[in-house]
Chains A and B, each alone.
Chain A
Amino acid sequence: MNRVFKALADPTRRRVLQLLRERPMSAGELSDHFPVAKATMSAHFAVLREADLIADERQGKSIIYRLRLSVLEDALLGFADSFGIGFPAMTETSKEEGAG
Chain B
Amino acid sequence: MSRRTRLFVWSVIAAMMLLTAGIAVWRADALTNLESLSKHARLNLTVNTFGLVFLPAWLALGALGMNRMLAHPKLRLADDQRRFAERSLVSAAIFTVGVHAWLVAGAIIGEPPGRELGGRLVEAVAGVFFIVNANFAAKTSPPPEWPDPGRWIRATLRTGWVGVLAGGVILASAIFAPVEPMIWIVGGATAVYGAVGVLSHLNLRRKRPA
Contact = CB atoms under 8 A, between A and B. Distances in A.
Chief secondary structure at chain A's binding surface: mixed
Nearest to A68: B139
A56 to B, nearest CB: 12
Contacts of B149: 23-24, 66
Interface in B43-73: none
6 contacts: A22-B150, A55-B141, A66-B153, A70-B139, A74-B138, A74-B161
A66 B138 contact: no
A72 B135 contact: yes
B84 to A, nearest CB: 11
A66 B141 contact: yes
B134 interface: yes
A70 B138 CA distance: 5
B141 A69 contact: no
Interface in A20-34: 21-24
B154 A21 contact: yes
Interface of A: 21-24, 52, 55, 66-74
B164 interface: yes
A68 B134 CA distance: 14
Given A21-B150, A66-B141, 13 more contacts: A21-B154, A23-B150, A52-B139, A55-B141, A66-B153, A69-B138, A69-B157, A70-B135, A71-B134, A71-B161, A72-B164, A74-B138, A74-B157
Nearest to B140: A68
Contact of A71 (B135, B141, B150, B154): B135
B153 A21 contact: yes
Nearest to A52: B139
B96 to A, nearest CB: 24
B127 interface: no
Interface string B118-142: 0000000000000000111011011
A68 B150 CA distance: 11
B139 A69 contact: yes
Contacts of B112: none
A67 B141 contact: no
A63 B157 CA distance: 23
Contacts of A52: 139
Contacts of A68: 139, 141
